[in-house]
Amino acid sequence: MRIVGVAIAVWIVIFCSAAFGALQGIARIQEDLKTGRISYETSLLYRTYSLFEPSKLPPEYRDEGRFVKSGTSLASEVRAYWSELSPSAKTVLSAFYSRPVLPESHLSESGRFCIHYTRSGRDSVSPVDSDGDGVPDYVEEAATDFDKAYALEVETLGYKEPVHDGIAGGDNDAWDVYIRDLWGSRVYGYTTPEHRAGPGYGYTAFIEIDNDFEDGYPTQGSDALGITSAHEFFHVIHFSYYGFGGLEWWMEICSTWMEDVAYTDVNDYYSYLSYFFDFPEQRLDKKNNQHEYGATVFAHYLSKRFGPEVIREIWEEIGASGQSDMRPFNRVLSRWISGGIGAAMKEFAVWNYYTGSRAQPDRYYPEGAYYPEIRIKKKHIVYPAEGEGTLEHLSAHYIQFSETQDKPGGLLLGFDPEEPNAWWGTLVGLSPSREDTMWAVEDGMGTIVAWDAFREIALIAVVTSPTGYAFRYAYNGTYDPTLTDKIVPERTSVGQSAPNPFVLGRGTGTMCVPFELAEWCTVTFSIYTLQGVLVHHQKWSTLAPRQYKDLARWDGKNEHGRSVASGIYLVRLEVQSDSGTVEAVRKIAVIRAE
């Protein structure tokens, strides 16, 4: 049984405040690098000191209580820049990024991992040895967890087996894991790329992890050991595809996502989400030891929307092309969605609005109710309203427009970006029944009719360009009391389910059943097999009279989140009101694409 870690809810308050304050030192280093006060080499030295030996930092760069989660990103940067470093810098940095020397080792049951450890000194592991086989329990548990990581990431998810390092670290060809006391560095672990491997772009690598995961870690004990094993071994895989730097942001997004794939109930990644949801204006590929961990939701979006294999395909494309910019992402995503990375960014920005109290787990993030809500740039309550903003590539702003139910009408929106081809805008409305509606912003204009039907309305402004840093826009919103086109259907009716057949496969969306309500109703939407087995169920207790085009939707998965088998299914929609009950049953063919 795994040791239960510290409660995430409590840690979010303590951990985030410590990390934000602590990383001001890193921010100062990065700012001085940007302004030319220090060189890139000096910035690598200072960031290394910040992580491993803060006492060596100049006073203006010191901070206490920092927590960075993984040191892999910095280790990757150092390796990528190694040939450009001065001899003196190489001497200093070698002390931090060379393989540790520990007196004992233990091979995992599969023989794939060699766990190095000591029983004495600061790096010592607990001496507890429950089975009396001479190997400490903690070492055996680490070996088991790394074997599990291999089984999941290579055998189940299909990533290529990482490059072996020969006899480096011992007289076996296993991947080396070194157990040390890392709490002083405030990281769970890190993976260091070591040697160029073969003719491609890969590197060998070794791993270091903490010796007990106690002290002040957000997640502790066995839970921390498990997620760190999954996280850091995934980095070994990353370096096997590409080890030349520039992708550290994507590496951390992916490894933090992999933790949740391997240990779905631990949810350590919740601790970092505010780094992303509080700063939607920061570009997707930003790396500052905070943003990249919160931006793990991008991998969650990709995996839910297209399937987990899309993340593997991106790594395979990176490894084949040797490119560390957005081109591999665009080529792969273009196979799944028309428009590639830009189109995915549009959807991703919308998904990020539907978290917290707005969460719709069936359509967006399954765990979205536990995520922070996106930070709103501006809330307008007085009209006419106007504003402006500047964004980097692959980022977004969220602007809300409020209405009052005693003031019927609608909203006319003007959206004026300086570079229209680099932008996408949409208006979203969330009704009291939690149904979401979207209106396109076309030719710089958007219109919302009968805005009093929605509890909140927002403009999502998204930069879809994969490059660039100063995209400016302006907007204005005007209240129009004549936009009250509330057409109430004459009768309650249920339309045909579409698409039919419903093909489950790459980039598949949802099947929807449109319906119209002539009065306030309770609506139940169910999917059954021909044998009467329930595979999907939704119920809305208070829906207003109007048209509903895609509220009743199904993604082809059963109640356990697995895609159903090919076959014929029964789609049942029941509408109950004071006037009686309307029931419609439709047949739909489901085809699973190979």
> Is residue 252 domain-shared with residue 225, that is, in the same domain?
yes
Question: In this predicted structure, what is the pLDDT of residue 489?
Answer: 79
Question: Which two structure tokens, joined as six digits, stand for 492?
Answer: 């309650």
Position 20 pLDDT exceeds 50: no
Q: What percent of the chain has pLDDT over 90?
A: 66
Position 4 pLDDT exceeds 60: no
Position 103 pLDDT exceeds 80: yes
Final residue in a domain of this structure, among 429, 447, 480:
480
Residues 71-94 have a mean pLDDT of 95
Question: Which two structure tokens, joined as six digits, stand for 228?
Answer: 């760190």
Question: Which two structure tokens, joined as six digits, stand for 126?
Answer: 């607990």
Position 448 pLDDT exceeds 70: yes
Q: Residue 536 maps to which CATH number?
A: 2.60.40.4070
> Is residue 553 domain-shared with residue 428, that is, in the same domain?
no
Among 57-61, 126-130, 265-269, name the one with the lowest average pLDDT: 57-61
Among 146-160, 168-182, 387-401, name the one with the lowest average pLDDT: 168-182
What is the spatial distance between Cα 411 and Cα 508, in angstroms, rounded to a whole number? 33
Question: In this predicted structure, what is the pLDDT of residue 558?
Answer: 87
> Is residue 446 domain-shared with residue 499, that is, in the same domain?
no
pLDDT band at 542 (very low <50, low <70, confident <90, very high): low
If one counts the domains in the chain, the total is: 3
Residues 552-563 have a mean pLDDT of 85
What is the spatial distance between Cα 253 and Cα 374, in angstroms, rounded to a whole number? 18
3-state helix, strand, coil in the chain (%, to 5): 35, 25, 40
> Is residue 502 domain-shared with residue 446, that is, in the same domain?
no
Q: What percent of the chain has pLDDT over 70?
A: 92
271/14: higher pLDDT: 271
Position 298 pLDDT exceeds 50: yes
Question: In this predicted structure, what is the pLDDT of residue 183?
Answer: 86
Rounded to 10 deg, the angle between the 248-262 and 309-321 helix axes is 150
> Is residue 13 domain-shared with residue 143, that is, in the same domain?
yes
Position 506 pLDDT exceeds 70: no
Final residue in a domain of this structure, among 295, 322, 346:
295
Final residue in a domain of this structure, among 263, 295, 327:
295
Position 7 pLDDT exceeds 90: no
pTM score, whole prediction: 0.81
Residues 411-417 have a mean pLDDT of 92
Domain range holding 163? 8-295
> Is residue 423 domain-shared with residue 563, that is, in the same domain?
no
Closest to 511 in 3D by CA, of 560, 547, 564: 564
Question: In this predicted structure, what is the pLDDT of residue 166?
Answer: 80
Average pLDDT, the chain: 89
pLDDT band at 142 (very low <50, low <70, confident <90, very high): very high
Question: Which two structure tokens, joined as six digits, stand for 235?
Answer: 């980095």
> Is residue 241 domain-shared with residue 382, that is, in the same domain?
no
